[in-house]
Amino acid sequence: MSRRDQFLKAASERLGTKQSKLEQKNPEIMCGLCKHYREMAFSGEGVGSCELLKIGSDILADPPVFDLESKNGYRTMNLQDASRCSYYEKMDFVDKDGTECIDPRFSRTMRQMQD
């Protein structure tokens, strides 16, 4: 087994994903559709933070850990599964066209989220 294969195996075990990208499906409840999710400056990366949960939180743990007291926001991914998050609130309006809306509360420019 090559070094690269070892790295990919370790990374997939750590992230809990063993499916190829073609087999992966977007979760029904994802962080990118939550009212509390804020995209970072480079929105194309799909990285953002939660304005409610703080660093130290872990919504993927069993049971989930929620820290509301720390200073910095919990860094998350746009397509991360949020089904275990008890603070999840789905947005009423999502503008998926990045050229139309300049309000960051409604803008979601991720290509994966487009219908």
Would you say residue 31 lies in a domain?
yes
Would you say residue 70 lies in a domain?
yes
Would you say residue 111 lies in a domain?
no
Which residue in 63, 33, 62, 64 sits closest to 50, CA to CA?
A: 33
Burial class (CB in 10 A: 0-12, 13-18, 19+), 42: exposed
- Which residue range forms the structural domain that includes residue 67? 26-91
Would you say residue 47 lies in a domain?
yes
Q: What is the mean pLDDT of the chain?
A: 77
Write the pLDDT tens digit of every residue in 58-73: 998 889 999 999 888 8
What is the 3-state composition of the chain as percent helix, strand, coil, each rounded to the nearest 5? 20, 25, 60
Q: Check residues 75 and 107 and name the one with the higher pLDDT.
A: 75
Q: Looking at the 3D structure of the chain, how many domains does it have?
A: 1
Would you say residue 61 lies in a domain?
yes
Provide the whole-model pTM.
Answer: 0.63
